[in-house]
Amino acid sequence: MFDVKISAVYIAKNEAHNIARSLDSIRVSVDELVLVDTGSADETVKIFESYGGKVYHEKWADDFSAPRNIALSKATGDWIIILDADESFSMETRQNIRAVLAQASAETNGLLINMINYDKDTGKALDEFYALRIVRNIPGLNYKGRIHEMMYIGEDYFHGWQRVSPKLLTIDHTGYTASISLEKNQRNIRLMEAAIRDGEPAERYYTNLFESYSALGNMERALYYAQMDVARGRQSITYASRSYRGLISYYAKDTSSEGRLKHLQWVEKAVKDFPELPDFHAEYSECLYRQGRYREAKREIELALSLCENYDGLEPCLLTPEMKPLMEQRKREITRLAEKQSKITISACAIVKNEENNIYGWLENVSVFADEIIINDTGSEDRTKEFIAKFSEENPDLAMVLIESQWQDDFSFAKNQCLAEATGDWIVFTDADETFVTPEKVRSVIGEQINGNTQVIMVPMANVDRDDNNNIINTFSVPRIFRREEGLCYEGRIHEMITIGGRRPDNLATVWADKRLFMEHTGYSTGINESKAQRNLTLLLKDIEDGQDIEKLYQYLAESYYALGNYAEALNKALLAIQSAYQPMGHQGDMYWLALNAMEKLDYSPEDKMAIVEGGIRLLPELPDFYARKGSVQMEAGNYHEAIKSFNMAWAKMAKYDEEAVHTNASNLRSILHLLFADWGRCLYRTGYSDMAEEKYREALKIKPWTETALCGWADIYQGRTAKDFIASLEAIYADIENSRELLADIYAVNGFPELAGYFSKVKKCSLINDKDYSEIYNKSMKEMAEILPALFVCLLEKYNEEYVKLLPDNLKILVNYLHGKPVAGEIKECFADYSSFMKAVMDFGTQELLVKYLGFLDYFATDEEKREKQLLEVAGLLQKNHREKEALELYQLLPEGSSKADSVYYQNVGFCLFREKEYAKALEYFQRAEQSEIVKSYIIWCREAMENGN
């Protein structure tokens, strides 16, 4: 005889319609009934007392744990059953309560009971899971959490539980019927958010916040909490897979490439964290099937079917017996496709010369997927052929062909020799310094194309600089995999292109691979770039001599000239490439990028660079690159607020670009990411956001520790002082870098930060005073005064203050006094040089009204017409440089007709202003009167394009 006392405890409010059904399910098994009522206005209490229960009253305070803990404290039984009023033991199992408890071991502290949620309105079972509903009455039992409360023993999570078979005990729950879920979910969110505000751990509520927001249709918030929940990994709670299921279900409906990628990622995470769950493996099989990864899909569907047999896990499995025939049918289909896919043959090809540092790694990489390897050695004088022979001996079952040929200054010729030997259905043609990050995925990705007509696969690649800590230079896609068919060959002596029947990839059936085929290329590292550039230029010029269409070569000529330091010729060829009818697939933005780099080397004005930037944005509005360059150009022009907007846009676009499964356009932004952060930091500092500026400088130095603009910009925030926090941050960054203190001392010494230089070179901070270096102290003081003078001048132009005016240099005093109608001591006509020097300060710090007044000074400086025209153009140029095109135009148009100053530069500048003001027809007229440089020709084209588009 099982002689123990059993208590059942409830908390309830207005549950008269449910409570009797629950009590009936336990009345013959329990010895004590306890209810904590939180304010019922119906018959709940009366019904409970009629069953012999004890009732305690507690005012509801938006906290479920509080009344539950009172109920626990009132229970006197050896075991406690914990139920809600809408929960009852099933008719089939309720008689087993005492028998189950009698079988519990002495180590068991609690029992997990199978719960089935029913929709009260339809009677349909919604889901089932295990929950802790019976506990041993041991010291320290308590609930924590304002809502979705959890049982603890003292401060520790509840432990020592045992799972009860659903055949022995099952609880039916009707509390989340469709008709009342809206009200409950709104209440639950309110309570959970209040609990978090009061200091409860937010992660305690991630799963439930996801479910409640999802039920209310707020998927943005629901997905946020689900992702936060899943990021923690599998939790030691019952039904821990809920957030995983929610994410999988949501993204299964998203048919975009990004949605499919996320769906796959969440399924892979679920399979990893819940390897015992058959339905996750079935879902994974479907994902792999849709991607054409049939061998992997076959493995997963077989595993799902195996796990389904007699599944009895703690986590609920949502696969029903009715689904098994459908799974068996899918398994047969996948097996057929996997067999067909396995019959694909792949040839891996490369041409090499003196590649002893790369060849063995390349061979290991391609051997993972290749049925045969074909190498054309064009005259190696190092150990390349020795390594090839060694690898062949070590892999006797792998077919290998080594062609030894004489180099003909023609890459296509050498590659076509390999193609002639290849027998595979597909060709993977890479260089020895290009390797797949996950070569084991190559065969499956190619296999996805077995039922299509794909001829070329574009492969994602990153140029990695081995000489710069393996930093990524840029990312792009290139044709590296293609179906072997008649007419397949390469064309072009250098920068050769695969063709089929004379057609290039942009005219072939081409697909873009996702990141499963990601490759790394080290062939354009800094240390070898120049030598390759000279070789490439020589071959390109030979191609031109042989009659190759030069329009197809402008891009490659520009790259070669730039690498060789001939920036003027690089810019010229880049602009021609931009205008060319031939645009290389996936690289349309490269020449805009190179043109900007060349312009920076040649000290072009911000106006000229901005035209190229805007062209890049128009061409590729979703690429982050040109928004970043726009921010840097705006910063250079002193437009700090606008620059910050551009940098924010670039960062948002970059995040989106990185999330994309497939990249159809190359991005170069990572090559200057450290400079982006440095420029961003400078703009934030100049606009008063020093804390945010520090974060950007820190990010820049994490990428490249010796970014001087970031080091000096950060020092400016602290006025070059050795502030404790600043020094601590620097020392944390450079702690593991050899000789960093000496290098920091040198950088700060050269850039005018003697205190910092002294600190890092271990010179006393007060050495200037100790050495009585008065000239250095004076120079430093003058530097600080020069920094504050522009702001002071503008403030006094805006609002007169006689005491502060006395601090100004004489000519600035004259300008301030003249503007305010005060007596002046001197001639205003002598003040033009100071006037123009402080024009930028007025534009940066003054109001538009002040700028108009300041421009009015121009009527008083000149003593003759020629000098007046010269001053007019100088100020117009200053306005234009600072993107004040409207005001600049007004001054330019004051130049008299027929003036000798109306030269080619004048017409070009007016054209620039009109273009920026979107007056394209007028701009075109002025550009046509200017000297026809390449930059002017580009603007003429852009004006005509804008006019054709109705602008």
Structure confidence at residue 739 (pLDDT): 82
Of 45-59, 222-236, 543-557, 934-948, the one with minimum mean pLDDT is 934-948
Structure confidence at residue 594 (pLDDT): 95
The amino acid sitting at 805 is V
Which residues does 423 contact at the CB level (< 8 Å), separation at least 6? 345, 347, 372, 484
Residue 165 has pLDDT above 50, yes or no: yes
End-to-end CA distance of the chain: give it in Å, rounded.
Answer: 94
Structure confidence at residue 32 (pLDDT): 97
Q: What share of the chain is helix, strand, coil (3-state, %, to 5)?
A: 55, 15, 35
Buried residues in 868-893 as b, exposed as e (16+ CB within 10 A) = bbebbbebbbbbbbbbbbebbbebbe
Q: What percent of the chain has pLDDT over 70?
A: 95
- Under DSSP, the state recorded for 32 is E
Structure tokens that stand for 830 in this block: 């002598």
User: In this predicted model, which residue has the larger pLDDT, 120 or 829?
Assistant: 829
What mean pLDDT is predicted for residues 771-779?
50
Torsion angle of alpha carbons 707, 712, 714, 718, nearest 10°? 160
What pLDDT, in 10s, does the model give residues 414-440? 999 999 999 999 999 999 999 999 998
Question: How many Cα atoms within 13 Å fall on the side-chain side of residue 219?
Answer: 5
What mean pLDDT is predicted for residues 784-792?
73
Element (H, E) at 374: strand 372-377
Strand partners, 462: 475, 520
Confidence of residue 686 (pLDDT cuts 50, 70, 90): very high
What mean pLDDT is predicted for residues 367-382?
96
What mean pLDDT is predicted for residues 439-452?
84
Structure confidence at residue 110 (pLDDT): 96
Structure confidence at residue 179 (pLDDT): 54
Structure confidence at residue 546 (pLDDT): 81
Spatial distance between the Cα atoms of 613 and 543, rounded to a whole number of angstroms = 31
Of 21-35, 73-87, 546-560, the one with minimum mean pLDDT is 546-560
Q: Are 696 and 680 in contact, with CB atoms under 8 Å apart?
A: yes
What pLDDT, in 10s, does the model give residues 612-646? 999 999 999 999 999 999 999 999 999 999 999 99
User: In this predicted model, which residue has the larger pLDDT, 771 or 711?
Assistant: 711
* The residue to which tokens 């190759």 are assigned: 548
Structure confidence at residue 468 (pLDDT): 66
Spatial distance between the Cα atoms of 814 and 825, rounded to a whole number of angstroms = 7
Spatial distance between the Cα atoms of 630 and 614, rounded to a whole number of angstroms = 8
What mean pLDDT is predicted for residues 794-807?
87
CA distances from 222 to 161, 261, 826 (A): 31, 19, 72
**Dihedral (CA of 155, 159, 160, 163) sign:** positive
CA distances from 734 to 67, 680, 889 (A): 56, 22, 50
Spatial distance between the Cα atoms of 703 and 700, rounded to a whole number of angstroms = 5
Q: Are 890 and 908 in contact, with CB atoms under 8 Å apart?
A: no
Which residues does 525 contact at the CB level (< 8 Å), separation at least 6? 464, 465, 466, 467, 468
Q: Are 152 and 142 in contact, with CB atoms under 8 Å apart?
A: yes
Structure confidence at residue 528 (pLDDT): 45
Residue 770 has pLDDT above 50, yes or no: no
What pLDDT, in 10s, does the model give residues 214-248? 989 999 999 999 999 999 999 988 889 999 999 99
The amino acid sitting at 634 is Q
Strands 510-512 and 456-465: parallel
Backbone angles phi, psi at 175, to 5 degrees: -75, -15
Of 177-181, 381-385, 947-951, the one with minimum mean pLDDT is 177-181
The amino acid sitting at 503 is R
Angle at 764 between CA 759 and CA 769, to 5 degrees: 125
What pLDDT, in 10s, does the model give residues 854-879? 999 898 888 888 899 999 999 999 99
What pLDDT, in 10s, does the model give residues 344-360? 899 999 999 999 999 99
Residue 768 has pLDDT above 60, yes or no: no
Which residues does 383 contact at the CB level (< 8 Å), separation at least 6? 356
Structure confidence at residue 383 (pLDDT): 95
Strands 426-429 and 471-483: antiparallel
Spatial distance between the Cα atoms of 414 and 492, rounded to a whole number of angstroms = 11
Spatial distance between the Cα atoms of 683 and 327, rounded to a whole number of angstroms = 59
Residue 1 has pLDDT above 70, yes or no: no
Closest CA to 270 of 219, 227, 213, 211: 227
Which residues does 769 contact at the CB level (< 8 Å), separation at least 6? 777
- Under DSSP, the state recorded for 404 is E
Residue 779 has pLDDT above 80, yes or no: no
Q: Share the mean pLDDT of the chain.
A: 89
What mean pLDDT is predicted for residues 883-898?
88
- Under DSSP, the state recorded for 12 is E
Residue 774 has pLDDT above 70, yes or no: no
CA distances from 293 to 299, 441, 443 (A): 10, 9, 9
User: In this predicted model, which residue has the larger pLDDT, 788 or 53?
Assistant: 53
Structure confidence at residue 785 (pLDDT): 63
88-92, 736-740, 771-775: range with highest mean pLDDT: 88-92
What mean pLDDT is predicted for residues 499-506?
86
Structure confidence at residue 783 (pLDDT): 56
Structure confidence at residue 781 (pLDDT): 52
What mean pLDDT is predicted for residues 45-62?
96
* The residue to which tokens 């029913």 are assigned: 118
What pLDDT, in 10s, does the model give residues 807-823? 888 899 999 999 998 88
Structure confidence at residue 355 (pLDDT): 94
Q: Are 493 and 438 in contact, with CB atoms under 8 Å apart?
A: no
Structure confidence at residue 840 (pLDDT): 87
Q: Are 596 and 604 in contact, with CB atoms under 8 Å apart?
A: no
Structure tokens that stand for 880 in this block: 């234009």
